[in-house]
Chains A and B, each alone.
Chain A
């Protein structure tokens, strides 16, 4: 019922949670003395004290407060203190820190509406308990003047409380009625309003039955469901905000020979931008100066770095590996290829928008049914009593109250709260409210390769083909470079206890490799064509000593932690699996064989990926797509449900329903199982609600319902449903 309650305004659930880099950049213009840092490693009382004490002693800092729940610290400092200074302070005491854009975090008022709901819940609870006390006296046998007095006091407490607490239901009901539709909030509002009005009328006439307590407990239980629902999503949203805010979008612009750091939103076509080795291209452009290699894996899935020199075109999102590059901007902001791809995703009608949640389906049957039933009760009793309006109305209201979906209102949120809590503990973040239900339907899993099953970090494969001397030279050459292949050689050699050879006049030629002198012989490590070797069809770098022919170091993409366990877990659960990659066939096949995935496709373009998934969907499969790259976003959107790791580009994270926070993939193995259990609990809860209605509705229809029966039935069903949800933990 949660989804039916609030009409969705945003195009997709994630759109409202993740602001685009331009928005973030625009917001960060607002300067204030407040700095927010994300501290992923704080976890205990000692950490809090250490961080706060260190910051308090730093000059220019007025106050600092750690929020352990969100793993953040808020710092009030003088205007000339920058976030980088604070990150440095944190590093000296051993905490990893990232800047968060405080403007982004402040801009999303998640806490405000949560606080609002909590207050309404408190008022409803307070009023409910007081009125219930008075009602017990009435049920216990208070009569005549005492009963009337108690009814009047109840009215005095209940009416203002209902007017305040039930507003969310009234607002939502009005907004759907305005577009001539029905949702769960219509019968809810009607029941609350009619029960209150009828009770005031009965009290006025000194009648026996007043339903003030029913109106209030209805409000209370339903608000509790709504609050649970809100809190689950607020947690997911704050983490999504955090991920979006982590990428503080700035670029170094060349102005009169000087580098000036500007927001990406301020870049214009024709500007010159400097990208350091290791940096990500902020814009589309053409290289004007410098040579380097580019890692395009996030865009295309290719793992082999490509050479880049003057006149090479670059796209936003590629990573510069070896040398500094100067780039002339050809497209910035909304026109970059990265942004266009993100737009494509936003426009593509996804299966998620077409999905009707279980709660919506239930509401679709329930709301008209309830109205019909109470109208029949009214008409039937009018006929039977020969036109006694008071009697007929009383019974119609009793039917509305009894059928009112307390259990239904709690059925879904109670379960999703429990299930998302359990998944969050395992490091998974549910972004969409229907993601769990959709995950439960999955029968086919499609994996991306680079960055998802593999880390995108190369691992040396033919270490043993080389002698100690060769390795010593290779290590010495690699030591000076930040290129991933060089780093990988370095790691492998150091791990095996190789000591570096002594080299002289080492120089790195950006984009090609490293050369040096060893015993008056030229030694080189780098690209095939540079050292005069034939290029192999796999990731490799080549070592040449003197005049002897060059030899290749070959690499494979190293497997992500838990990837093998994950594939095994899915295999034992009987899912069909596919590996879909933009990389070369040899590497894709090797990985598929290693993991035991039967079906694989290599050299897939983004369009082919999404068409492949749509093909599966058309043949009736429910596909779970796990991917991280920009080339996966369309596929992630097309899939029935999708997961991306936190290391993914933000476009991919926006497109997916679940974000995996840790680097280990293994927790995903249980996710589908938990989702299925959750769905089973939701259906059981609906069952409880139906059974309870089958007993209670005839009682109400035949006019035997009293406020006491209504209160008992309502509390019993709500508690049953909540307890059933708790079994998930």
Chain B
């Protein structure tokens, strides 16, 4: 059972990482235009190289 002493902190840490990532997506306004984002993948505008 000693293994939980490692596993629990690790699982909480990994979950926390996900939470931080979610915070970042909210802060950087990635949920402002869900409809537009779903359409943008259909455009071939920046297919060759990323937007400068």
CA of A337 to CA of B40 in the docked complex: distance in angstroms?
Answer: 48
CA of A115 to CA of B40 in the docked complex: distance in angstroms?
Answer: 23
Contact B32 A130 (CB under 8 A): no
Could you tell me the distance in whole angstroms from the C-beta of A541 to the nearest C-beta in chain B?
47
| B50 CB within 8 Å of chain A | no
Contact A123 B12 (CB under 8 A): no
Contact B12 A49 (CB under 8 A): no
Contact A118 B11 (CB under 8 A): no
| Interface segment out of the listed A23-31, A61-69, A168-176, A258-266 | A61-69
Could you tell me the distance in whole angstroms from the C-beta of A45 to the nearest C-beta in chain B?
4
Point out the residues of chain A lying under 8 angstroms from B41, CB to CB.
45
CB 8 Å contact bits of A94-124 with B (1 = contact, 0 = none): 0000000000000000010001001100110
The residue on B at minimum CB distance from A46 is B43
Contact A122 B22 (CB under 8 A): yes
CA of A130 to CA of B15 in the docked complex: distance in angstroms?
Answer: 8
Contact A69 B33 (CB under 8 A): yes
The residue on B at minimum CB distance from A115 is B26
Given A49-B45, A53-B45, A157-B12; A69-B36 close (CB under 8 Å): yes
| A126 CB within 8 Å of chain B | yes
Contact A44 B33 (CB under 8 A): no
CA of A118 to CA of B12 in the docked complex: distance in angstroms?
Answer: 20
Contact A119 B18 (CB under 8 A): no
CB 8 Å contact bits of B18-29 with A (1 = contact, 0 = none): 110011001100
Could you tell me the distance in whole angstroms from the C-beta of A663 to the nearest C-beta in chain B?
23
| B48 CB within 8 Å of chain A | no
Contact A45 B43 (CB under 8 A): yes
Contact B32 A69 (CB under 8 A): yes
Contact A69 B34 (CB under 8 A): yes
CA of A68 to CA of B39 in the docked complex: distance in angstroms?
Answer: 9
Point out the residues of chain A lying under 8 angstroms from B16, CB to CB.
126
CA of A146 to CA of B43 in the docked complex: distance in angstroms?
Answer: 55
Contact A130 B43 (CB under 8 A): no
Contact A67 B12 (CB under 8 A): no
- Choice from A70, A130, A146 contacting B33 with Cβ under 8 Å: A70
- Choice from B11, B23, B35 contacting A130 with Cβ under 8 Å: B11
CA of A66 to CA of B40 in the docked complex: distance in angstroms?
Answer: 10
Could you tell me the distance in whole angstroms from the C-beta of A398 to the nearest C-beta in chain B?
27
Given A129-B15, A130-B11; A69-B35 close (CB under 8 Å): yes
Contact A48 B1 (CB under 8 A): no
CA of A582 to CA of B22 in the docked complex: distance in angstroms?
Answer: 56
The residue on B at minimum CB distance from A137 is B4
Point out the residues of chain A lying under 8 angstroms from B23, CB to CB.
119, 122
Interface size on B, residues (CB 8 A): 24
Contact A45 B19 (CB under 8 A): no
| A153 CB within 8 Å of chain B | yes
Given A122-B19, A129-B15; A67-B39 close (CB under 8 Å): no
- Residues of A605-637 contacting chain B, CB below 8 A: none
CB 8 Å contact bits of A330-363 with B (1 = contact, 0 = none): 0000000000000000000000000000000000
- Residues of A387-436 contacting chain B, CB below 8 A: none
The residue on A at minimum CB distance from B18 is A126
The residue on A at minimum CB distance from B23 is A119
| B42 CB within 8 Å of chain A | yes
Point out the residues of chain A lying under 8 angstroms from B31, CB to CB.
118
Contact B1 A146 (CB under 8 A): yes
CA of A48 to CA of B39 in the docked complex: distance in angstroms?
Answer: 9
| B8 CB within 8 Å of chain A | yes
Could you tell me the distance in whole angstroms from the C-beta of A54 to the nearest C-beta in chain B?
13
- Residues of A58-94 contacting chain B, CB below 8 A: 66-70
CA of A70 to CA of B35 in the docked complex: distance in angstroms?
Answer: 9
Given A122-B22, A126-B15; A67-B36 close (CB under 8 Å): yes
CA of A52 to CA of B43 in the docked complex: distance in angstroms?
Answer: 12
CA of A134 to CA of B8 in the docked complex: distance in angstroms?
Answer: 9
- Choice from A48, A68, A153 contacting B8 with Cβ under 8 Å: A153
Point out the residues of chain B lying under 8 angstroms from A119, CB to CB.
23, 26
Contact A66 B36 (CB under 8 A): yes
- Choice from B12, B33, B45 contacting A68 with Cβ under 8 Å: B33
CA of A153 to CA of B18 in the docked complex: distance in angstroms?
Answer: 19
- Choice from B27, B34, B40 contacting A48 with Cβ under 8 Å: B40
Contact B19 A123 (CB under 8 A): yes
CA of A264 to CA of B41 in the docked complex: distance in angstroms?
Answer: 44
Point out the residues of chain B lying under 8 angstroms from A115, CB to CB.
26-27
Given A122-B23, A123-B19, A126-B19; A45-B33 close (CB under 8 Å): no
Given A118-B26, A123-B19, A126-B19; A67-B43 close (CB under 8 Å): no
CA of A123 to CA of B27 in the docked complex: distance in angstroms?
Answer: 14
CA of A519 to CA of B26 in the docked complex: distance in angstroms?
Answer: 74
CA of A150 to CA of B47 in the docked complex: distance in angstroms?
Answer: 50
CB 8 Å contact bits of A567-591 with B (1 = contact, 0 = none): 0000000000000000000000000
Point out the residues of chain A lying under 8 angstroms from B40, CB to CB.
45, 48
CA of A119 to CA of B16 in the docked complex: distance in angstroms?
Answer: 13
Query: Which of B12, B19, B36, B43 neighbours the largest number of chain A CB atoms within 10 Å of its CB?
Result: B36
Point out the residues of chain B lying under 8 angstroms from A70, CB to CB.
33
CA of A129 to CA of B12 in the docked complex: distance in angstroms?
Answer: 10
- Residues of A660-701 contacting chain B, CB below 8 A: none
CA of A157 to CA of B13 in the docked complex: distance in angstroms?
Answer: 11
Could you tell me the distance in whole angstroms from the C-beta of B48 to the nearest C-beta in chain A?
14
Point out the residues of chain A lying under 8 angstroms from B45, CB to CB.
49, 52-53
CA of A48 to CA of B45 in the docked complex: distance in angstroms?
Answer: 10
- Residues of A130-156 contacting chain B, CB below 8 A: 130, 133-134, 146, 153
The residue on A at minimum CB distance from B45 is A49
CA of A53 to CA of B12 in the docked complex: distance in angstroms?
Answer: 45
CA of A66 to CA of B36 in the docked complex: distance in angstroms?
Answer: 8
Point out the residues of chain B lying under 8 angstroms from A123, CB to CB.
19
Contact B12 A130 (CB under 8 A): yes
Contact A111 B32 (CB under 8 A): yes
Contact B32 A67 (CB under 8 A): yes
Could you tell me the distance in whole angstroms from the C-beta of A614 to the nearest C-beta in chain B?
43
CA of A115 to CA of B31 in the docked complex: distance in angstroms?
Answer: 9
Query: Which of B23, B34, B43 neighbours the largest number of chain A CB atoms within 10 Å of its CB?
Result: B43
**What are the 5 closest A-B residue pairs judged by CB atoms, nearest first?**
A68-B36, A45-B42, A45-B39, A69-B35, A67-B33
A sample of 30 cross-chain residue pairs with beta-carbon separation below 8 angstroms, ordered by A number, consists of: A44-B39, A45-B40, A45-B42, A48-B36, A48-B39, A49-B43, A52-B45, A53-B45, A66-B36, A67-B32, A68-B33, A68-B35, A68-B39, A69-B32, A69-B33, A69-B34, A69-B35, A115-B26, A115-B27, A118-B26, A118-B31, A122-B22, A122-B23, A126-B18, A129-B15, A130-B11, A133-B11, A134-B8, A153-B12, A157-B12
**Contacts A67-B32, A119-B26 supplied; 10 other A-B pairs, CB < 8 Å:** A52-B45, A69-B32, A115-B26, A118-B31, A119-B23, A122-B19, A122-B22, A130-B11, A130-B15, A134-B8
